[in-house]
A and B are shown apart, each in its own frame.
Chain A
Amino acid sequence: MFEFLELQFMQRALIAGVFIGSTLSLLGVFVVLRKSAFFGDAVAHFAFAGIAVGFLLAVHPIAAAVAVSLALALGMGYVQNKAPAQSLDTIIGIFFSGAAALGIFIIGLLHGYRVDLFQYLFGDIIAISSSDIAAAAIITVVVAGILAFLWKPLFKVTFNREIAFISGVRVSMVDYMFLGLLAVVTAMSIKVVGIILVPALLVIPAASAKNISRSFRQMIFYSLFFGVASVVGGLIGSFYLNTASGATIVLMSIVFFAATLIAPHSE
C-alpha cells in the first residue's frame, strides 16, 4: 500500500514538498489577506526570467532565479512607491509581462541550445536531490524565523497602513521584506511544483482556510494543513496515476478549496 515510500525519489519529494508546502501556505495567508494573488503570478514569472538568465550566464538556474526574482520584486516595490499615479495591479502587470518577455527573449538568444524548460515550468520531483531538500529545509527555517518577527507588523500593515505607520511600523520596510521573502520562496519552490503552479500553492490553501476560519489563528493553522495535505496528497496521487506532480498537487488543493466552500460553517 505504501510502496511509494520505498522509493528514494518519492521520499525526497515528500520531504521537500512538506517544507515547500508549509512555507508557501504560510506566506499565502498574507498574500490572500493583502489581496495580492496576482503578485504571486508575477514573482513566478520573475523566477522564469531568472532561470533563463542562469542558462545564459551558465550559473545554477535556481540560484539565478532567486537573485533575479529578488531584484525584480524589490524593483517593483520601488516603482510602486515612485509612481503613485499607477495602481498596484497595473505595475504588477507591467513587471509580470516584462519578466515573461525577458525570459523568452533570453531563451531565444541561446542559439543551438534547447533548454529543458518543462521541469521548471511544471516541476520535476524525480530531479529533487538531497541538496534540494537541504535548501528547502533552510528556506523554511529562515522564513519561519523572519515571520516570527515580521508577522505582527505585516498584519498591522495589512489591516491599515496609516494606523500601522503611526503606531511605529516602518511600513515600506515591511512591504519590501514581504516582497523579498515571497520572491525567494517562490524561486526556491520551482523544482517541486514549477513556475506555473507555485502561485496556485501560494494562494489556494490560504483561500481555502479563509473560507472556514473564524479567527486569524485558525486561518494560519488551516492554511498550513491544506498546503501540506495538497503537496502530500498530490505527490501520492501523481505516483499512482502517473501524472505531472505539480499539476496533481494543485488539483488536490482545488479539491480542498471546493470542500471548504460546501462545508457547513457558522458565523
Chain B
Amino acid sequence: MTVLSVKNLNVTLHDHHILNDITFDVNEGEIAAVIGPNGSGKTTLLKSILGLVPYEGTVSVLGVSPSAIQSIGKKIGYVPQRLEFDRTMPVTVEELFSIHSFEPNPGHIRKALSLAHAEHLLSKRLGILSGGEFQRVLLALALLGGPRMLFLDEPVASIDIEGSGEIYSLLKELQKNEKITILLVSHDVDIVYTYATTVLCVNHRLVCSGAPHETLTPDTLKMLYGGHHALYAHKEKSREHSHGEKHRHHDS
C-alpha cells in the first residue's frame, strides 16, 4: 500500500530551481532513504512533502496533501536536521513531552521514550543531554502521537559513528516492530546500504531509485555525485557485522 506519493514535484525558491520533476512512491513499512551530494535538494524535498516549503506538483502523505498535513499531525513524526536549540533553556524532557503530548495519559510519554530507548532521560534537563541522547529524545518526541510515518533529516548528523549505528538500529526496530514507514535523508551511503529498503538518489532531479543493492552501483553513484566514485569496504563496520556488505561511499 502506497503511503507517500510524489508526482512531478518542482520546487523553486528565490528564483532558483531546487527540485525538478521528482516522481516516486513509498510503500507502507519501507525505510526509504534520500541520498545525494550537499545542496542537491534533499532537505527541500523532505520539507516540501511536509508542507514546510511551497512546491508545484502532486504530493500525498497518508492520503492528504501537504497543505492539510496539520490535520494528520498525530500520524506524522518529524526530526529536523540539526535542531537549533538554546541549550540554556531550562526545560526537562518530561516537560517537553507533556507540552507536546496529544493526550493527558502519561503512559504514552513513557512508551515513546521507551521505543527510543530513552526512558531514563525523563527527568533530565535538555541542556545537559549529549548529542546522541538529545537525538533519541527528538526521535521519541516524533513517536509521541503513535505515528504511521516518520520523517528524519540527517538524524545522525551531530553524533559519532557508534551513536549513529544505534540510532539506525532503532529505526530498523521501529519499522519492524511498530510497522512505521520511514523516509530519511542521509549523506552516508554505507548506512543506507545497511538499513534502507529503498533508496532515492536526488541531485535536483531523481537520478535513480530502487533497492539499495541494485541501485547503488558505481555508475549510478558517478551520475549522482559526479567524478570518480566507488564503494569501499568499511573495515570497522565489516568486523561488527557478519554479512560483510557494509560499505562507505568515498569522494575522490
Partner of B128, one of A159, A167, A217, A267: A267
B105 to chain A, nearest CB (A): 16
Within 8 A of B (CB), among A184-214: 210, 213-214
Cβ A267 vs Cβ B125 within 8 A: yes
Partner of A214, one of B76, B78, B90: B90
Asked if B96 is an interface residue, CB under 8 A from chain A, the answer is: yes
Cβ B90 vs Cβ A215 within 8 A: yes
Cβ A214 vs Cβ B141 within 8 A: no
Interface size of A in residues (CB-CB distance below 8 Å): 24
A7: which B residues are within 8 A, CB to CB? none
B67 to chain A, nearest CB (A): 12
Given A215-B125, A267-B128, A166–B90 Cβ distance below 8 Å? no
B86: which A residues are within 8 A, CB to CB? 33, 35
Cβ B141 vs Cβ A155 within 8 A: no
A215: which B residues are within 8 A, CB to CB? 90-92, 95, 125
Partner of A152, one of B71, B88, B99, B142: B99
A163: which B residues are within 8 A, CB to CB? 78, 80, 100, 141-142
A-B contact count (CB 8 A): 67
Asked if A168 is an interface residue, CB under 8 A from chain B, the answer is: yes
Asked if A219 is an interface residue, CB under 8 A from chain B, the answer is: yes
A26 to chain B, nearest CB (A): 15
Asked if A130 is an interface residue, CB under 8 A from chain B, the answer is: no
B188 to chain A, nearest CB (A): 23
Q: Among the interface residues B85, B90, B99, which one has the most CB atoms of the partner chain A within 10 A?
A: B90
Main secondary structure of the interface of A (DSSP, over half): helix
A155: which B residues are within 8 A, CB to CB? 99
**Residue on B nearest A210 in the bound complex, by CB:** B90
Cβ B73 vs Cβ A168 within 8 A: yes
Cβ B85 vs Cβ A216 within 8 A: no
Q: Among the interface residues B71, B92, B145, which one has the most CB atoms of the partner chain A within 10 A?
A: B92
Asked if A11 is an interface residue, CB under 8 A from chain B, the answer is: no
Partner of A167, one of B89, B90, B100: B100
Q: Among the interface residues A35, A160, A213, which one has the most CB atoms of the partner chain B within 10 A?
A: A160
**Residue on A nearest B81 in the bound complex, by CB:** A162
Partner of B70, one of A35, A166, A213: A166
Partner of B52, one of A159, A165, A168, A170: A165
B22 to chain A, nearest CB (A): 20
Q: With A and B bound together, what is the CA distance between A224 and B98 in angstroms?
A: 22
Given A165-B52, A210-B88, A159–B73 Cβ distance below 8 Å? no
Asked if B50 is an interface residue, CB under 8 A from chain A, the answer is: yes
Within 8 A of A (CB), among B113-157: 125, 128, 141-142, 145
Asked if B83 is an interface residue, CB under 8 A from chain A, the answer is: yes
B74: which A residues are within 8 A, CB to CB? 167-168
Q: With A and B bound together, what is the CA distance between A210 and B86 in angstroms?
A: 12
Q: With A and B bound together, what is the CA distance between A215 and B141 in angstroms?
A: 18
A152: which B residues are within 8 A, CB to CB? 99
Given A152-B99, A159-B85, A162-B52, A216–B141 Cβ distance below 8 Å? no
A160: which B residues are within 8 A, CB to CB? 80, 83-85
A179 to chain B, nearest CB (A): 20
B90: which A residues are within 8 A, CB to CB? 210, 213-216, 218-219
A159: which B residues are within 8 A, CB to CB? 85, 89, 91, 96
B46-80: CB near A (< 8 Å → 1, else 0) gives 01001110000000000000000111011010101
Cβ B99 vs Cβ A162 within 8 A: no
A219: which B residues are within 8 A, CB to CB? 90
Q: With A and B bound together, what is the CA distance between A160 and B89 in angstroms?
A: 13
B121 to chain A, nearest CB (A): 14
A162: which B residues are within 8 A, CB to CB? 47, 50, 52, 78, 80
B90 to chain A, nearest CB (A): 4
A222 to chain B, nearest CB (A): 9
Cβ A166 vs Cβ B73 within 8 A: yes
**Residue on B nearest A84 in the bound complex, by CB:** B14
Cβ B80 vs Cβ A216 within 8 A: no
Partner of A216, one of B51, B88, B91: B91
Cβ B76 vs Cβ A166 within 8 A: yes
A254 to chain B, nearest CB (A): 20
Which of B's residues lie within 8 Å of A, judged by CB? 47, 50-52, 69-71, 73-74, 76, 78, 80, 83-86, 88-92, 95-96, 99-100, 125, 128, 141-142, 145
